[in-house]
């Protein structure tokens, strides 16, 4: 979750480093620092808190070096303070390092180094690496060799950038599980932990693979494989542009991304509806394997997990097969039965979530067939799965996932439908659903515009609430879970999701006068029962915001939002527009930092 930037070239490094770190601020952090390097030596400045604290101690007139590295730290080992902030330097201040990830064998490495009289200033695992490089440099007096030896000793995850007085215009880079993007442009060579930091300077980008190392020089980048052999560079055309990394006239990235959904839904569908059929060529290579599958496990974290519950419910509606959705953090320790006849589907916006990556590695070890559903091109998850299907939601910067979630729902519907077909089961209302999928982009565009005023009004009701409850049955429970997560993660209002049928088994004890209940009733086979559950809460004084379809009778409810006519299996998508806006407006009313909620990061790359 840390932000990393690096530059070596023909212009001042500091402005590039700082601008890059600002573009990565959305990842969440608690301290920041930079090292500037030249043949005179290294200058390192660090500060606890936001980038503004770091800027306040930088004298740009003094920092004219053309090579440097920068870091924004999300604390994993050691509290947020100057000592633990990156970059970390060796005792002689000839080597400086920034790191993203967790070094699992840092204690044994630290003990070995202490036996050679190395002193440690910080509580971090990262500091071990810079001393290890120093340890090897003293033996071979060559930075490239020392760097590769040190990296070879590391266990765990890392994205590392190193500068040194010994090689002042070079940056040494290594990647394992933590993302590392390199780029080259007219000003020089760049590295960063995510694309937005580089977009302003170049679109000629490469994402390092696990085990790769690289050396950046002002006019060239050299990449080495895990064996240390030089390898050809496969440049990727950046799918993003500056525009998509900016706010486009909205107040926040989250507001922008909510409004992008009609377009991102269209992008995710593009090329995947052919006549009356859903087309997923990504499944072609594993089609025969899929026919032998006798169980399906959907695995993800957070919002992506909620999308998995949706996919699992859709598949279960059409195929009599064992199919469960499990949070990745639980899958790893839950001793779930996985073998070569198990299909494991991993969903992740970032493709870098540590728990999800650990889960796919475990599933592969047990012989499972694996599919990744990811949003970021070339992310770690996509390199581990047997096949990847990309959501096409574009850059999602706000920590709270919105457009990636609806893109996941659309894609998981198509995936579940395709799996049903491959496994020999047809979906009876298939044609109606295909028609609705074609209409979805325009439908959500119109609905978004027409529902905003009333949703904004209802959000006002939540402004001073301490608790809000979300309820639903069947697919509506997916919306209840995701709606509760959205509200709590950006407005800090406590919100929980309950199966509507479970209310009377305990949760209804929480309902009292004026409590707000957000209820979803879009599933015809259970709507009547949900409505009677909701009336039980009204009878106890609750204010109910009912999100339902055009046909459900809803007499006596004061706050109703009727969704556009759509097949019930797709109503989770239109319901999402409502609860995302509810959460957004409530958070804005409460003056919360909508794009960067406290304690959260966009990609949880540590466990
Ligand atoms: C959702 O709004 C949160 N940002 C969080 O729950 C997120 O969905 C989760 O961390 C999974 O991230 P991923 O999709 O990148 O794996």
In whole angstroms, give the CA distance from residue 156 to residue 129: 12
Number of continuous H segments (helices) and E segments (strands) in the chain: 17, 27
**Mutate which of 604, 605, 606, 607 for ligand 1 pocket (most atoms within 8 A of beta carbon):** 604
* pLDDT score for 236: 76
Kindly state whether residues 312 and 240 are assigned to the same domain.
no
Q: Is the pLDDT of residue 228 over 80?
A: yes
Q: Is the pLDDT of residue 1 over 70?
A: no
Domain count, the chain: 3
Structure tokens at 308: 């998995």
Kindly state whether residues 238 and 259 are assigned to the same domain.
no
In whole angstroms, give the CA distance from residue 605 to residue 601: 9
Residues noted as catalytic: 2, 602
For the CA of 602, the nearest atom of ligand 1: 4
Kindly state whether residues 85 and 211 are assigned to the same domain.
yes
* pLDDT score for 599: 86
> 489 CB under 6 A from ligand 1?
yes
Kindly state whether residues 202 and 268 are assigned to the same domain.
no
Kindly state whether residues 232 and 282 are assigned to the same domain.
no
Contact call for residues 331 and 359 (beta carbons, < 8 A): yes
Greater model confidence, 101 or 92? 92
> 307 CB under 6 A from ligand 1?
no
* pLDDT score for 222: 98
* pLDDT score for 244: 55
Contact call for residues 389 and 239 (beta carbons, < 8 A): no
Kindly state whether residues 233 and 299 are assigned to the same domain.
no
Outline where DSSP puts E strands in 211-271: 213-217, 220-224, 230-231, 236-237
Question: What is the pLDDT of the chain when averaged over all its residues?
Answer: 92
Q: DSSP 3-state helix, strand, coil percentages of the chain (rounded to 5)?
A: 40, 25, 35
Question: Which residue's CA is the nearest one to ligand 1's atom 3?
Answer: 400
- If you measure from the C-alpha of residue 605 to the centroid of ligand 1, how many angstroms do you get, rounded to a whole number? 11
- If you measure from the C-alpha of residue 257 to the centroid of ligand 1, how many angstroms do you get, rounded to a whole number? 15
Q: Is 6 helix (H, G, I), strand (E, B) or coil?
A: strand
* pLDDT score for 604: 84
- If you measure from the C-alpha of residue 373 to the centroid of ligand 1, how many angstroms do you get, rounded to a whole number? 13
Question: Which residue's CA is the nearest one to ligand 1's atom 6?
Answer: 302
> 146 CB under 6 A from ligand 1?
no
Residue 263: pLDDT band with limits 50, 70, 90: confident
> 401 CB under 6 A from ligand 1?
yes
Question: Which residue's CA is the nearest one to ligand 1's atom 5?
Answer: 302
- 113-123 residue pLDDT tens: 999 999 999 98
* pLDDT score for 337: 96
Question: What number is the average pLDDT over the span 330-348?
Answer: 96
In whole angstroms, give the CA distance from residue 6 to residue 197: 10
In-domain check, residue 444: no
In whole angstroms, give the CA distance from residue 21 to residue 26: 10
> 399 CB under 6 A from ligand 1?
yes
First and final C-alpha spacing in the chain:
11
Q: Is the pLDDT of residue 217 over 90?
A: yes
* pLDDT score for 519: 97
Question: Which residue's CA is the nearest one to ligand 1's atom 10?
Answer: 302
The H or E element containing residue 432 is helix 430-462
Residue 189's alpha-carbon distances to 38, 42, 200, in angstroms, are: 16, 19, 13
In-domain check, residue 162: yes
Contact call for residues 40 and 63 (beta carbons, < 8 A): no
What are the beta bridge partners of residue 517? 469, 544
Question: Which residue's CA is the nearest one to ligand 1's atom 7?
Answer: 302
Q: Is the pLDDT of residue 237 over 80?
A: no
* pLDDT score for 44: 97
For the CA of 486, the nearest atom of ligand 1: 2
> 353 CB under 6 A from ligand 1?
yes
Question: Which residue's CA is the nearest one to ligand 1's atom 16?
Answer: 348
In whole angstroms, give the CA distance from residue 576 to residue 344: 25
Kindly state whether residues 274 and 420 are assigned to the same domain.
yes
Kindly state whether residues 492 and 509 are assigned to the same domain.
yes
- 28-45 residue pLDDT tens: 577 899 999 999 999 999
In whole angstroms, give the CA distance from residue 516 to residue 512: 9
* pLDDT score for 607: 75
In-domain check, residue 271: yes
> 601 CB under 6 A from ligand 1?
no
* pLDDT score for 82: 82
* pLDDT score for 145: 96
* pLDDT score for 75: 62
- 130-141 residue pLDDT tens: 999 999 999 999
> Who contacts 330 (Cβ-Cβ below 8 Å, separation ≥6)?
none
Q: Is 517 helix (H, G, I), strand (E, B) or coil?
A: strand
In-domain check, residue 456: yes
Outline where DSSP puts E strands in 2-82: 3-9, 31-38, 41-48, 67-73
Residues 51, 34, 178, 350, Cα dihedral to 10°:
30
Q: Is 162 helix (H, G, I), strand (E, B) or coil?
A: strand
The CATH code of the domain that includes 364 is 3.40.50.10490
In-domain check, residue 306: yes
Q: Is the pLDDT of residue 242 over 60?
A: no
* pLDDT score for 246: 65
- 324-335 residue pLDDT tens: 999 999 999 999
Mapping DSSP onto H, E and C, the string for 194-216 reads CHHHCCCCCCEEEECCCCCEEEE
In whole angstroms, give the CA distance from residue 323 to residue 311: 9
What are the beta bridge partners of residue 221? 216
Q: Where does a domain end: 201, 221, 244?
A: 244
The H or E element containing residue 499 is strand 494-499
In-domain check, residue 440: no
In-domain check, residue 598: no
Q: List the single range of 11-15, 489-493, 504-508 with lowest mean pLDDT.
A: 504-508
- 523-559 residue pLDDT tens: 999 999 999 999 999 999 999 999 999 988 888 888 9
Contact call for residues 250 and 573 (beta carbons, < 8 A): no
Residues of the chain with pLDDT > 70, as a percent, come to 96
> 604 CB under 6 A from ligand 1?
yes
Structure tokens at 371: 């599919």
Q: List the single range of 24-33, 67-76, 272-281, 390-399 with lowest mean pLDDT.
A: 24-33
What are the beta bridge partners of residue 154? none
* pLDDT score for 77: 64
- 438-480 residue pLDDT tens: 999 999 999 999 999 999 999 999 999 999 999 999 999 999 9
Contact call for residues 41 and 83 (beta carbons, < 8 A): no
The CATH code of the domain that includes 132 is 3.60.20.10
- If you measure from the C-alpha of residue 440 to the centroid of ligand 1, how many angstroms do you get, rounded to a whole number? 24
Kindly state whether residues 188 and 238 are assigned to the same domain.
yes
Among the listed residues 239, 255, 258, 237, the one whose alpha carbon sits nearest the alpha carbon of residue 247:
255
> 301 CB under 6 A from ligand 1?
yes
In whole angstroms, give the CA distance from residue 277 to residue 272: 8
Question: What number is the average pLDDT over the span 424-433?
Answer: 85
In-domain check, residue 32: yes
For the CA of 489, the nearest atom of ligand 1: 2
Residues of the chain with pLDDT > 90, as a percent, come to 76
Q: Is the pLDDT of residue 240 over 80?
A: no
- If you measure from the C-alpha of residue 139 to the centroid of ligand 1, how many angstroms do you get, rounded to a whole number? 44
* pLDDT score for 27: 53
Kindly state whether residues 413 and 352 are assigned to the same domain.
yes
Residue 491: pLDDT band with limits 50, 70, 90: very high
In whole angstroms, give the CA distance from residue 329 to residue 355: 5
In whole angstroms, give the CA distance from residue 430 to residue 276: 8
Q: Where does a domain end: 393, 427, 461?
A: 427
> Who contacts 563 (Cβ-Cβ below 8 Å, separation ≥6)?
447, 522, 547, 548, 549, 550, 571, 574, 575, 578
What domain range is 312 assigned to?
248-427
> 356 CB under 6 A from ligand 1?
yes
* pLDDT score for 78: 66
For the CA of 604, the nearest atom of ligand 1: 10
Residue 513's alpha-carbon distances to 402, 533, 543, 544, 545, in angstroms, are: 32, 16, 8, 11, 15
Question: What number is the average pLDDT over the span 395-411?
Answer: 95
> Who contacts 182 (Cβ-Cβ below 8 Å, separation ≥6)?
173, 189, 190, 191, 205, 206, 207, 208, 214, 216, 221, 223
- If you measure from the C-alpha of residue 603 to the centroid of ligand 1, how many angstroms do you get, rounded to a whole number? 7
- If you measure from the C-alpha of residue 333 to the centroid of ligand 1, how many angstroms do you get, rounded to a whole number? 20
Contact call for residues 550 and 527 (beta carbons, < 8 A): no
What are the beta bridge partners of residue 374? 348, 390
* pLDDT score for 140: 93
- If you measure from the C-alpha of residue 302 to the centroid of ligand 1, how many angstroms do you get, rounded to a whole number? 5
* pLDDT score for 76: 57
- If you measure from the C-alpha of residue 595 to the centroid of ligand 1, how many angstroms do you get, rounded to a whole number? 13
Rg of the chain over Cα atoms, rounded to whole angstroms, equals: 26
**Mutate which of 308, 331, 353, 583 for ligand 1 pocket (most atoms within 8 A of beta carbon):** 353
Q: Is the pLDDT of residue 266 over 90?
A: no
Residue 348: pLDDT band with limits 50, 70, 90: very high
> 408 CB under 6 A from ligand 1?
no
Kindly state whether residues 32 and 173 are assigned to the same domain.
yes
- 42-68 residue pLDDT tens: 999 999 888 889 999 998 889 999 999
Q: Listing from the earlier edge strand, what are the strands of the sheet with 188-192?
A: 41-48, 31-38, 67-73, 3-9, 188-192, 181-184, 204-207, 236-237
* pLDDT score for 426: 81
* pLDDT score for 99: 95
Q: Where does a domain end: 215, 244, 273?
A: 244
Kindly state whether residues 282 and 194 are assigned to the same domain.
no
Buried b (16+ CB within 10 A) or exposed e, 211-242: bbbbbbbbeebebbeeeeeeeeeeeeebbbee
What pTM did the predictor assign?
0.72
Question: What number is the average pLDDT over the span 85-96?
Answer: 96
In whole angstroms, give the CA distance from residue 300 to residue 347: 5
């Amino acid at each position: 979750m840390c932000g990393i930037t690096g530059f070596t070239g023909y212009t001042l490094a500091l402005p590039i480093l700082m601008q890059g770190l600002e573009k990565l601020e959305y990842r969440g952090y608690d301290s920041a620092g930079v090292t500037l390097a030249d043949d005179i030596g290294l200058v390192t400045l660090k500060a606890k808190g936001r980038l503004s604290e770091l800027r306040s101690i930088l004298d740009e007139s003094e920092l004219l070096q053309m090579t440097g590295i920068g870091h924004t730290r999300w604390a994993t080992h050691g509290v947020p303070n100057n000592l633990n902030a990156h970059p970390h330097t060796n005792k002689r201040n000839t080597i400086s390092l920034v790191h993203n990830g967790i070094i699992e064998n840092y204690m044994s490495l630290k003990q070995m180094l202490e036996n050679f009289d190395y002193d440690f200033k910080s509580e971090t695992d990262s500091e071990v690496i810079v001393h290890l490089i120093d340890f090897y440099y003293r033996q071979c007096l060559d930075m490239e060799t020392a760097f590769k030896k040190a990296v070879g000793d590391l266990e765990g995850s890392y994205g590392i950038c190193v500068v040194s007085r010994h090689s002042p215009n070079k940056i040494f880079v290594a990647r394992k599980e933590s993302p590392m993007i390199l780029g080259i442009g007219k000003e020089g060579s760049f590295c960063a932990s995510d694309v937005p930091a580089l977009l302003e300077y170049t679109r000629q980008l490469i994402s390092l693979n696990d085990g790769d190392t690289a050396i950046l020089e002002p006019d060239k980048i050299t990449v080495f494989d895990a064996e240390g052999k030089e390898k050809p560079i496969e440049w990727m055309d950046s799918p993003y542009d500056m525009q998509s990394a900016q706010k486009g006239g909205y107040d926040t990235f989250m507001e922008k991304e909510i409004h992008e959904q009609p377009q991102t839904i269209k992008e995710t569908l593009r090329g995947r509806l052919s006549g009356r059929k859903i087309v997923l060529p990504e499944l072609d290579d594993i089609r025969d394997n899929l026919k032998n599958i006798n169980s399906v496990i959907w695995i993800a974290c957070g919002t992506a997990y909620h999308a998995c519950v949706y996919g699992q419910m859709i598949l279960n509606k059409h195929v009599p097969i064992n199919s469960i959705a499990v949070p990745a953090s639980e899958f790893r320790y839950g001793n779930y039965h996985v073998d070569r006849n198990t299909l494991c589907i991993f969903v992740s916006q970032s493709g870098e979530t540590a728990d999800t990556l650990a889960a796919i590695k475990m599933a592969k070890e047990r012989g499972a067939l694996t599919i990744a559903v990811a949003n970021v091109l070339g992310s770690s998850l996509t390199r581990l799965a047997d096949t990847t299907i990309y959501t096409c939601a574009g850059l999602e910067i706000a920590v709270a996932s919105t457009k990636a979630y609806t893109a996941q729902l659309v894609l998981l519907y198509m995936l579940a439908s395709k799996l049903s077909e491959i496994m020999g089961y047809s979906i009876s209302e298939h044609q109606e659903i295909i028609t609705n999928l074609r209409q979805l982009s325009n439908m959500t565009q119109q609905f978004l515009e027409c529902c905003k005023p009333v949703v904004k009004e209802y959000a006002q009701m939540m402004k001073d609430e301490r608790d809000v409850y979300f309820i639903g049955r069947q697919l509506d429970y997916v919306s209840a879970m995701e709606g509760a997560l959205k509200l709590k993660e950006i407005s800090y209002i406590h919100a929980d999701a309950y199966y509507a049928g479970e209310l009377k088994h305990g949760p209804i004890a929480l309902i009292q006068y004026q409590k707000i209940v957000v209820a979803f009733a879009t599933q015809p086979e259970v709507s009547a029962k949900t409505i009677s559950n909701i009336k039980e809460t009204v009878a106890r004084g609750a204010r109910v915001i009912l999100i339902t379809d055009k046909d459900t009778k809803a007499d006596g409810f004061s706050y109703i939002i009727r969704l556009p006519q759509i097949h019930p299996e797709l109503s989770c998508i239109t319901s999402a527009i409502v609860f995302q806006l509810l959460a957004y407006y409530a958070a804005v009313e409460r003056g919360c930092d909508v794009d960067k909620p406290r304690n959260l990061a966009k990609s949880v790359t540590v466990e």
